[in-house]
Amino acid sequence: MYRKVILSLLSLALLIPLFAGAVNAAGKDNPMVHVKTNKGDFTIELYPEKAPVTVENFIYYVKNKFYDETLIHRVRKNFVLQGGGYTVDNIKKETAKPIKNEADNGLKNDKYTISMARTNEINSATSQFFINLQNNPALDHKGTSPRQYGYAVFGKVVEGQGTIDKIGKVEAVMKDGMYRPVKKVVIESMRVVKKDKEKEKE
Protein backbone atom coordinates (compact mmCIF):
# COMPACT_ATOMS: atom_id res chain seq x y z
CA MET A 1 0.00 0.00 0.00
CA TYR A 2 2.75 2.44 0.97
CA ARG A 3 4.57 1.63 -2.24
CA LYS A 4 1.46 2.59 -4.27
CA VAL A 5 1.19 5.91 -2.41
CA ILE A 6 4.86 6.71 -3.05
CA LEU A 7 4.51 5.87 -6.75
CA SER A 8 1.43 8.08 -7.00
CA LEU A 9 3.27 11.00 -5.41
CA LEU A 10 6.20 10.54 -7.77
CA SER A 11 3.88 10.52 -10.77
CA LEU A 12 2.28 13.75 -9.58
CA ALA A 13 5.70 15.36 -9.11
CA LEU A 14 6.62 14.49 -12.68
CA LEU A 15 3.42 16.05 -14.01
CA ILE A 16 3.88 19.39 -12.24
CA PRO A 17 6.48 20.82 -14.68
CA LEU A 18 4.12 20.10 -17.59
CA PHE A 19 1.60 22.55 -16.16
CA ALA A 20 4.12 25.16 -15.01
CA GLY A 21 3.93 27.20 -18.22
CA ALA A 22 0.14 27.43 -18.08
CA VAL A 23 0.18 28.45 -14.42
CA ASN A 24 2.77 31.16 -15.03
CA ALA A 25 0.83 32.52 -18.00
CA ALA A 26 -2.56 32.53 -16.29
CA GLY A 27 -1.68 34.10 -12.95
CA LYS A 28 -4.36 35.33 -10.58
CA ASP A 29 -3.04 38.91 -10.65
CA ASN A 30 -2.75 39.24 -14.42
CA PRO A 31 -4.19 42.47 -15.88
CA MET A 32 -7.53 42.22 -17.69
CA VAL A 33 -8.73 44.43 -20.54
CA HIS A 34 -12.41 44.72 -21.45
CA VAL A 35 -13.07 45.48 -25.12
CA LYS A 36 -16.36 46.91 -26.35
CA THR A 37 -17.11 46.68 -30.07
CA ASN A 38 -20.13 47.24 -32.28
CA LYS A 39 -20.31 43.44 -32.61
CA GLY A 40 -20.22 42.68 -28.89
CA ASP A 41 -17.77 42.64 -25.98
CA PHE A 42 -14.86 40.46 -24.95
CA THR A 43 -12.21 40.38 -22.22
CA ILE A 44 -8.49 39.74 -22.61
CA GLU A 45 -6.21 38.39 -19.87
CA LEU A 46 -2.64 39.67 -20.27
CA TYR A 47 0.54 37.75 -19.38
CA PRO A 48 3.13 40.22 -18.00
CA GLU A 49 5.41 37.48 -16.65
CA LYS A 50 5.80 36.03 -20.12
CA ALA A 51 5.71 39.25 -22.16
CA PRO A 52 6.53 42.22 -19.86
CA VAL A 53 7.53 44.69 -22.59
CA THR A 54 4.55 43.85 -24.79
CA VAL A 55 2.01 44.01 -21.96
CA GLU A 56 3.38 47.34 -20.72
CA ASN A 57 3.17 48.73 -24.25
CA PHE A 58 -0.40 47.48 -24.78
CA ILE A 59 -1.61 48.88 -21.45
CA TYR A 60 0.01 52.23 -22.31
CA TYR A 61 -2.17 52.46 -25.41
CA VAL A 62 -5.26 51.25 -23.54
CA LYS A 63 -4.90 53.74 -20.70
CA ASN A 64 -4.35 56.58 -23.17
CA LYS A 65 -7.57 55.53 -24.95
CA PHE A 66 -5.63 55.10 -28.16
CA TYR A 67 -7.82 52.19 -29.24
CA ASP A 68 -11.15 53.96 -28.68
CA GLU A 69 -13.06 54.40 -31.95
CA THR A 70 -10.60 52.40 -34.05
CA LEU A 71 -11.20 49.69 -36.62
CA ILE A 72 -10.75 45.98 -36.74
CA HIS A 73 -9.34 46.64 -40.19
CA ARG A 74 -8.43 43.10 -41.20
CA VAL A 75 -10.40 39.87 -40.94
CA ARG A 76 -9.10 36.73 -42.56
CA LYS A 77 -11.52 33.87 -41.92
CA ASN A 78 -10.02 30.89 -40.10
CA PHE A 79 -6.83 32.85 -39.55
CA VAL A 80 -6.75 36.17 -37.67
CA LEU A 81 -8.55 39.44 -37.02
CA GLN A 82 -6.39 42.55 -36.67
CA GLY A 83 -6.88 46.03 -35.25
CA GLY A 84 -5.36 48.87 -33.31
CA GLY A 85 -4.01 51.07 -36.07
CA TYR A 86 -6.75 52.95 -37.93
CA THR A 87 -9.47 55.42 -36.98
CA VAL A 88 -13.08 54.79 -38.01
CA ASP A 89 -12.36 57.08 -40.97
CA ASN A 90 -9.60 54.66 -42.00
CA ILE A 91 -6.79 57.07 -41.15
CA LYS A 92 -3.62 55.46 -39.81
CA LYS A 93 -2.85 56.64 -36.26
CA GLU A 94 0.50 57.95 -35.08
CA THR A 95 2.11 55.59 -32.57
CA ALA A 96 4.86 55.44 -29.99
CA LYS A 97 8.23 53.84 -30.80
CA PRO A 98 8.48 50.14 -31.80
CA ILE A 99 9.10 47.59 -29.07
CA LYS A 100 11.17 44.47 -28.57
CA ASN A 101 9.72 41.31 -30.08
CA GLU A 102 9.02 38.78 -27.30
CA ALA A 103 7.91 35.95 -29.59
CA ASP A 104 10.54 33.70 -27.99
CA ASN A 105 8.65 33.64 -24.67
CA GLY A 106 7.30 30.11 -25.14
CA LEU A 107 3.67 31.12 -25.73
CA LYS A 108 1.96 29.79 -28.85
CA ASN A 109 -0.33 31.47 -31.35
CA ASP A 110 -3.26 29.28 -30.37
CA LYS A 111 -6.93 30.05 -30.92
CA TYR A 112 -8.13 33.20 -29.07
CA THR A 113 -4.61 34.33 -28.12
CA ILE A 114 -3.63 37.94 -28.83
CA SER A 115 -0.31 38.81 -30.47
CA MET A 116 1.49 41.87 -31.76
CA ALA A 117 1.38 42.60 -35.48
CA ARG A 118 4.63 43.74 -37.08
CA THR A 119 6.35 44.37 -40.40
CA ASN A 120 9.19 42.26 -41.81
CA GLU A 121 11.45 43.89 -39.21
CA ILE A 122 11.66 41.72 -36.08
CA ASN A 123 11.37 44.57 -33.56
CA SER A 124 8.81 46.71 -35.38
CA ALA A 125 5.54 46.22 -33.42
CA THR A 126 3.83 49.37 -32.14
CA SER A 127 0.07 49.47 -31.50
CA GLN A 128 -1.45 46.93 -33.89
CA PHE A 129 -2.42 43.51 -32.60
CA PHE A 130 -4.19 40.44 -33.89
CA ILE A 131 -6.32 37.70 -32.35
CA ASN A 132 -5.92 34.17 -33.63
CA LEU A 133 -9.12 32.60 -34.99
CA GLN A 134 -7.52 29.14 -34.95
CA ASN A 135 -4.26 27.55 -33.84
CA ASN A 136 -1.60 29.17 -36.04
CA PRO A 137 1.72 27.37 -35.42
CA ALA A 138 3.19 29.02 -38.53
CA LEU A 139 3.21 32.31 -36.56
CA ASP A 140 5.22 30.91 -33.62
CA HIS A 141 8.90 31.58 -32.89
CA LYS A 142 11.15 29.11 -34.70
CA GLY A 143 14.46 30.90 -35.28
CA THR A 144 16.37 34.16 -35.39
CA SER A 145 15.66 35.30 -38.97
CA PRO A 146 12.83 37.82 -39.58
CA ARG A 147 10.71 35.12 -41.23
CA GLN A 148 11.26 32.59 -38.44
CA TYR A 149 11.19 34.88 -35.42
CA GLY A 150 7.39 34.81 -35.13
CA TYR A 151 4.81 37.01 -33.47
CA ALA A 152 4.69 37.75 -29.75
CA VAL A 153 1.73 36.28 -27.86
CA PHE A 154 0.95 38.36 -24.76
CA GLY A 155 -2.54 37.37 -23.67
CA LYS A 156 -5.74 35.50 -24.44
CA VAL A 157 -9.45 36.20 -24.80
CA VAL A 158 -10.95 34.60 -21.70
CA GLU A 159 -14.53 35.89 -21.99
CA GLY A 160 -16.65 36.79 -25.00
CA GLN A 161 -15.12 34.28 -27.38
CA GLY A 162 -18.47 34.30 -29.19
CA THR A 163 -17.83 37.91 -30.15
CA ILE A 164 -14.47 36.92 -31.63
CA ASP A 165 -16.17 34.14 -33.59
CA LYS A 166 -18.79 36.60 -34.86
CA ILE A 167 -16.20 39.13 -36.01
CA GLY A 168 -14.18 36.34 -37.58
CA LYS A 169 -17.10 35.51 -39.87
CA VAL A 170 -17.89 39.00 -41.20
CA GLU A 171 -17.75 39.52 -44.94
CA ALA A 172 -14.35 40.86 -46.01
CA VAL A 173 -12.84 41.74 -49.38
CA MET A 174 -9.26 42.06 -50.54
CA LYS A 175 -8.21 45.72 -50.56
CA ASP A 176 -4.78 47.31 -50.15
CA GLY A 177 -3.18 43.91 -49.73
CA MET A 178 -5.42 42.57 -46.95
CA TYR A 179 -8.96 41.33 -46.28
CA ARG A 180 -10.95 44.32 -45.03
CA PRO A 181 -14.47 44.04 -43.57
CA VAL A 182 -17.20 45.27 -45.95
CA LYS A 183 -19.09 46.78 -43.00
CA LYS A 184 -17.02 48.54 -40.35
CA VAL A 185 -16.10 46.60 -37.23
CA VAL A 186 -15.39 49.24 -34.60
CA ILE A 187 -13.56 49.01 -31.28
CA GLU A 188 -15.64 51.47 -29.27
CA SER A 189 -13.48 51.31 -26.14
CA MET A 190 -10.84 49.37 -24.24
CA ARG A 191 -10.44 49.59 -20.48
CA VAL A 192 -8.25 47.88 -17.91
CA VAL A 193 -10.58 46.13 -15.47
CA LYS A 194 -10.25 44.24 -12.22
CA LYS A 195 -11.02 40.54 -11.87
CA ASP A 196 -14.47 41.41 -10.56
CA LYS A 197 -15.11 43.30 -13.84
CA GLU A 198 -15.23 46.61 -11.97
CA LYS A 199 -13.56 49.23 -14.15
CA GLU A 200 -10.55 50.97 -12.71
CA LYS A 201 -10.96 54.61 -11.88
CA GLU A 202 -9.81 56.80 -14.73
Q: Which domains does the chain have, with CATH numbers?
A: 29-193 (2.40.100.10)
* Mean pLDDT value across residues 133-143: 98
- What is the DSSP secondary structure assignment for residue 12, as one 8-state letter? H
| CA-based radius of gyration for the chain | 19
Q: pTM of the predicted model, to two decimals?
A: 0.84
* Mean pLDDT value across residues 132-146: 97
The answer to whether 181 and 171 are in contact (CB under 8 A) is yes
Closest CA to 191 of 76, 51, 47, 31: 31
**Residues 70-113 pLDDT 10s:** 999 999 999 999 999 999 999 999 999 999 999 999 999 999 99
Distance in angstroms (rounded) separating the CA atoms of residues 172 and 109? 22
**Residues 4-38 pLDDT 10s:** 434 444 444 444 444 444 444 666 789 999 999 99
